Amino acid sequence: MRTPSQSLLSWSALLCASGLLSSLFSVGVAVKENDFKKCHQSGFCKRNRDYADKAIAQGSSWQAPYKILPTEASFKNGLFHATILKSIDDKGSTVELPLTVSFHKSGTARVTIDEKQRQEKNIELRHNSQARKERYNEAETWAIVGGTTVDVDAKGSYSGDSGIKIQYGPNSTFEADIKYDPYSIEFKRDGYAQLKLNDRGLINLEHWRPKVEKPVAEEKKDDGENAEEKKEEFPAEPEGEDESTWWDETFGGNTDSKPRGPESVALDITFFGYDHVYGIPEHAGPLSLKETRGGDDAYTEPYRLYNSDVFEYILDSPMTLYGAIPLMQAHSKDSTVAVFWLNAAETWIDITKAKESKNPLALGKGPKIDTQTHWISEAGVMDLFIFLGPTPSDVSKAFGELTGTTAMPQEFSIGYHQCRWNYVSDDDVKEVDRKMDRHQIPYDVIWLDIEYTEEKKYFTWDKDMFKDPISMGQQLDAHGRKLVVIIDPHIKNIGSYPVIDELKANSLAIKNKEGRDFDGWCWPGSSMWIDCFNPSAIKWWKSLFKYNRFKGTMENTWLWNDMNEPSVFNGPEVTMPKDNLHYGSWEHRDVHNINGMTFHNATYQALLSRKKGELRRPFVLTRSFYAGSQRVGAMWTGDNQANWEHLGASIPMILNQGVSGFPFAGADVGGFFGNPEPELQSRWYQAGAFYPFFRGHAHIDARRREPYLLAEPYRTIVASALRLRYSLMPSWYTAFHQAHRDGSPIIRPMYWTHPSSEGGFSIDNQFFLGSTGILVKPVVSRGKTIEDIYIPDDEAYYNYFTYQQLPTKKGKTLKVDAPIESIPVLMRGGHIFPRRDIPRRSVQLMKFDDYTLIVVVSKDGTAEGQLYADDGDSFDYQKGEYIHRTFKLEGSKLTSTDAEGRDAKYIKRGDWLKNMQDVAVDKIIIVGAPSFWADKKEVKLETEGKQSIVKLEYIKGAANQGPFATVGRVGAKIGADWTIDFT
Ligand code: NOJ
């Protein structure tokens, strides 16, 4: 019998085939929570939660049945090897689990546990499966790019047969205390316990076992007409274990054949003295993660990571969304540590908080709250990395070293993107472009959703509606603008379509469990999915993007990858069957959460090779992601709704991306489903102007809402938000560069910038922009005209627009007027940030404009900041072709010097640097300028061996404006050293 959800899915497939699917997603249809599993419906999650309950119920008499054999343990050259024995019955039977703990020069430690019998492929697969026998151990080939050089200087000292202590990290201040029986590892910093693996004894690796076919009892159910024989299974062996989902599992009418039987890995990790944990995106909930089993305001479900197409997702929920980064940071006053759980299978994480720290030495001070976590993954090796901080930026840096940092973006891509599903024709695109100009609204990119194709066949154009894509691209190019087109991973399975023919002929599609090309339903109807784990598939994918193959695209065409979880309309939980097979015969179950990243990566690679000799930074937006996706593009938070709650939710979600290593993030501005009222739309643009990725997008059924369609005053309000974004572009680009260099978030939550300001640890609706000192709190409620901003320190704070110094107090909130035409934006004293103040149509047209510097004087009269600039397009910055300045106000001098101490003489000059030679600092605004400058009219400028006099104007301030000074027509070259002397 078909379940209701099955019939719905095939109905949707039918609708989809006839091009009507959009109506299924029409406004007001919220996500069907029941289409996605809860923990008790996911066999391995339930088993591990039950296991935890039993263990916890036994209290101190519980001992995990896992121990290290001392005779087989060794530590040498930064590597600890041992075998963990798992007892599996009362008769002394054990299974061997090889353990490696490695200590890295980067300061991270890695703990990997495999299963010998599977490693040796000494198992039998059921159902004639062609899957691999080992536990998946290739996640690192996708996620890890560095930071794993082993620290051969790590020192070990054995404590008899009970364990070993290993000192590592900076000045050997880190320690791993490995206990043998039961197995556990406690990590310490400066002698204090920070976190412990298997603290509560919940470790569980479901070892391989053959399915014991039970005798079958036959019984007659009834004697009626429909009498049927019922096969009753005898109880499982060993007694007490819940075998019901070991060998197959059915959900929503789909059965997973599980050829390898149960194979989950689970571990508990306790963070001692830490009462906040952050990370593990993607979820729509608060930045400071909630408890999931008991506690105030707790969720009842664990956080789930199983990349899924969850349209119109619910808020304040641990439910899975489109992407997964299994990095969790634990934070308490002055200390941050983290764990990265490198696993690509379906994963659940329970969080509880123990009110009293078991370890009185934890941090030695402060409240003693332990955060206890329980990580449960369906398959794969157990593999995790430990970071001991001590600061949030140390963790971001180390995670960046490990998984890579955000790619230097195409500069245009941090401008504003205008999207909707769909701009219907090339004329439509041209008209929107003209209207944006007519209304003097800056933008950089216009997007084409799936309807531009001929019947959802990617790499084709709907010939009736897009008659001349090149002329469309050329019109955009005239003002430096770009086009982004969507290409999804499902390929229409239809005749006379070369792309599907090639996919099939070269066997590059993901296979079903029988090893044949998997066919499922998505936008085009019957489809197949490219398997980007296969190097040959990437090679082929590259060939499709060449300009002479994907005709109609040109140098200003860039890419959008959607539906790459992957979304399969008629698949289990709207995705692929777990027993599908990928390259290397890995089951989809093993690699699911990495799948989206492999597709994103293939498109990135393809854009690098569109034309021989053309080496430009690709721009590719993805919906699905994993740790490492930051290296190849941007992400957005998927199908949100046009309501205030979703606007509010976007901020913690984007902040969470930032602290989880993938900061190039945004949410659909205006809300995807529905029609925002003008106030909501305006507030959303004001917030969006501070998203690292800033794109307006709308569902096909939503009304047109390009900013120029708004009535006044809203049109002006939105245009001003956009201009604010554009004027701050140099600061955004500098923040991106910093993220690229050291993994730091682009917009930063309070705990990250002020790790000792406890009042800020739960705050996730305000943030700093890079290191500019610009503090933003977008308004996310209807009718709100006053905002409370939390002030994390003792510094001076000024209103961004009026320069007024505000009556702030450390640790208290400040009331800021926020009428609809204004955004609550403050400037923190002590920073200098760059702007470009001439309003223009696009980023490219601002490329060689002069700069304005804003100097925001701190309480002690100093300020410091940076500018990074390069051609915003090529990889020449890797050869040193960039400008990177440090500006400093100290005493009476303001200076600009090379941020890296490079001598200008030795910097190789290409075209971009040559063009920048005449670009200058035009204006300097000194906010909080000392009042004794009031009579000053001029100051001395010294640059390039010459001295000159430049004008200073001091403005005393008025009721609605603070005092400030401007130095006008400075004329010092942006790339040169200079000093301004204010004496
Ligand atoms: C789902 C995406 O989330 C949405 O942004 C897009 O418009 C539709 N797919 C159609 O491509």
Residue 733 lies in a domain: no
pLDDT tens column, 137-194: 999 999 999 999 999 999 999 888 899 999 999 999 999 999 999 999 999 999 999 9
Residue 273 lies in a domain: yes
Q: Does 548 lie in the same domain as 399?
A: no
- pLDDT surpassing 50 at residue 14: no
In 326-471, DSSP assigns E strands to: 327-332, 335-341, 347-354, 370-377, 382-387, 416-418, 445-448
Active-site entry in 151, 639, 764, 873? 639
Nearest CA to ligand 1 atom 7: 421
CA distance 668 to 705: 13
35 given a catalytic annotation: no
Query: Which residue type is seen at 207?
Result: H
Q: How many angstroms is it from 450 CA to the middle of ligand 1?
A: 8
Query: Which residue type is seen at 879?
Result: K
Residue 620 lies in a domain: yes
Which residue is it, tokens 């005449």? 918
- pLDDT surpassing 90 at residue 451: yes
Q: How would you classify the pairing of strands 520-522 and 525-529?
A: antiparallel
Residue 979 lies in a domain: no
Query: Which residue type is seen at 426?
Result: D
Last residue of a domain, one of 403, 421, 455: 403
Q: How many angstroms is it from 968 CA to the middle of ligand 1?
A: 48
Averaged pLDDT, 368-383: 96
Q: How is residue 622 written in tokens? A: 């993805």
- The residues, any chain, with a CB within 8 Å of residue 677's CB and separated by 6 or more, are none
Say what the pLDDT of residue 909 is. Answer: 82
Measuring from each residue's beta carbon to the nearest atom of ligand 1, which residues come in under 6 Å?
Answer: 421, 449-450, 486, 562, 623, 638-639, 672, 697
pLDDT tens column, 31-72: 678 899 999 999 999 999 999 999 999 999 999 999 999 998
In 107-264, DSSP assigns E strands to: 109-113, 155-158, 163-168, 174-179, 184-189, 192-197, 204-205, 217-220, 229-232, 249-251, 254-256
Contact between 977 and 898 under an 8 Å Cβ cutoff? The reply is yes
Pocket test for ligand 1, best of 421, 451, 559, 624 (most atoms within 8 A of CB): 421
- pLDDT surpassing 60 at residue 233: no
Say what the pLDDT of residue 217 is. Answer: 53
Structural domain for 566, as ranges: 488-626
Residue 477 lies in a domain: no
Question: Could you tell me the sign of the dihedral formed by the alpha carbons of 264, 270, 274, 275, in that order?
Answer: positive
Ligand 1 nearest atom to the CA of residue 697, by list position: 5
Q: Does 369 lie in the same domain as 499?
A: no
Query: Which residue type is seen at 73?
Result: A
Pocket test for ligand 1, best of 672, 673, 693 (most atoms within 8 A of CB): 672
Q: What percent of the chain has pLDDT over 90?
A: 89
Half-sphere exposure of 278 (CA within 13 A, CB side): 29
Hey, how many other C-beta atoms are within 10 angstroms of the C-beta on 254?
Answer: 17
For position 496, which CATH number holds? 3.20.20.80
Active-site entry in 565, 793, 870, 873? 565
Q: How many angstroms is it from 186 CA to the middle of ligand 1?
A: 45
**Could you tell me which of 177, 170, 158 has the C-alpha nearest to residue 76?**
158
Average pLDDT, the chain: 93
Q: How many angstroms is it from 235 CA to the middle of ligand 1?
A: 47
Q: How is residue 366 written in tokens? A: 């402060």
What are the b/e assignments for 307-317, b being 16+ CB within 10 Å?
bbbbbbbebeb
At 851, give phi and psi (nearest 5°).
-105, 155
Q: How many angstroms is it from 60 CA to the middle of ligand 1?
A: 51
pLDDT tens column, 456-483: 999 999 999 999 999 999 999 999 999 9
pLDDT tens column, 893-951: 999 999 999 987 777 789 999 999 999 999 999 999 999 999 999 999 999 999 999 99
pLDDT band at 213 (very low <50, low <70, confident <90, very high): confident
Partners of 269 in the β-ladder: 197, 373
Averaged pLDDT, 261-287: 98
At 508, give phi and psi (nearest 5°).
-110, 5
- The residues, any chain, with a CB within 8 Å of residue 59's CB and separated by 6 or more, are none
Say what the pLDDT of residue 17 is. Answer: 37
Averaged pLDDT, 505-530: 98
263 given a catalytic annotation: no
Contact between 187 and 388 under an 8 Å Cβ cutoff? The reply is yes
90 given a catalytic annotation: no
- The residues, any chain, with a CB within 8 Å of residue 358's CB and separated by 6 or more, are 199, 270, 272, 370
Q: How many angstroms is it from 562 CA to the middle of ligand 1?
A: 7
Q: Nearest 10 degrees: CA dihedral of 324, 327, 330, 336?
A: -140
Last residue of a domain, one of 626, 659, 683: 626
pLDDT tens column, 248-259: 999 999 999 999
pLDDT band at 229 (very low <50, low <70, confident <90, very high): very low
pLDDT band at 218 (very low <50, low <70, confident <90, very high): low
Ligand 1 nearest atom to the CA of residue 623, by list position: 3
Q: Does 510 lie in the same domain as 386?
A: no
Q: Does 291 lie in the same domain as 158?
A: yes
pLDDT band at 216 (very low <50, low <70, confident <90, very high): low
Residue 687 lies in a domain: no
Averaged pLDDT, 804-823: 97
- pLDDT surpassing 90 at residue 30: no
For position 129, which CATH number holds? 2.60.40.1760
Ligand 1 nearest atom to the CA of residue 668, by list position: 5
Active-site entry in 268, 291, 562, 764? 562
Q: Specify the higher pLDDT residue, 294 or 226.
A: 294
Pocket test for ligand 1, best of 449, 641, 700 (most atoms within 8 A of CB): 449
**Could you tell me which of 626, 632, 43 has the C-alpha nearest to residue 307?**
626
Q: How is residue 196 written in tokens? A: 């412990």
pLDDT tens column, 490-499: 999 999 999 9
Q: Does 381 lie in the same domain as 271?
A: yes
- pLDDT surpassing 70 at residue 843: yes
Which residue is it, tokens 């979820």? 283
- How many helical (H) and strand (E) elements, i.e. helices and strands, does the chain have? 16, 53
Q: Does 538 lie in the same domain as 398?
A: no
- pLDDT surpassing 80 at residue 28: no
Q: How is residue 853 written in tokens? A: 């510097």
Q: Does 161 lie in the same domain as 59?
A: yes
Burial class (CB in 10 A: 0-12, 13-18, 19+), 256: buried
CA distance 834 to 827: 13
In 761-911, DSSP assigns E strands to: 767-769, 774-776, 786-790, 797-799, 813-817, 825-828, 831-835, 851-856, 863-869, 883-890, 893-898
pLDDT band at 615 (very low <50, low <70, confident <90, very high): very high
Q: Specify the higher pLDDT residue, 365 or 347.
A: 347
Say what the pLDDT of residue 24 is. Answer: 39
**Could you tell me which of 145, 142, 280 has the C-alpha nearest to residue 660?**
280
Ligand 1 nearest atom to the CA of residue 567, by list position: 1
Contact between 532 and 541 under an 8 Å Cβ cutoff? The reply is yes
Q: How is residue 410 written in tokens? A: 């195409």
Say what the pLDDT of residue 869 is. Answer: 98
Count how many domains the chain has.
Answer: 2
CA distance 886 to 867: 7
Ligand 1 nearest atom to the CA of residue 672, by list position: 5
CA distance 559 to 554: 12
Averaged pLDDT, 428-442: 98
Averaged pLDDT, 91-118: 98
Last residue of a domain, one of 579, 596, 626: 626
Pocket test for ligand 1, best of 563, 621, 646 (most atoms within 8 A of CB): 563
Residue 578 lies in a domain: yes
Q: How many angstroms is it from 425 CA to the middle of ligand 1?
A: 18
pTM value? Answer: 0.94
Q: Does 304 lie in the same domain as 158?
A: yes
Residue 734 lies in a domain: no
- pLDDT surpassing 70 at residue 785: yes
- pLDDT surpassing 70 at residue 20: no
Burial class (CB in 10 A: 0-12, 13-18, 19+), 74: exposed
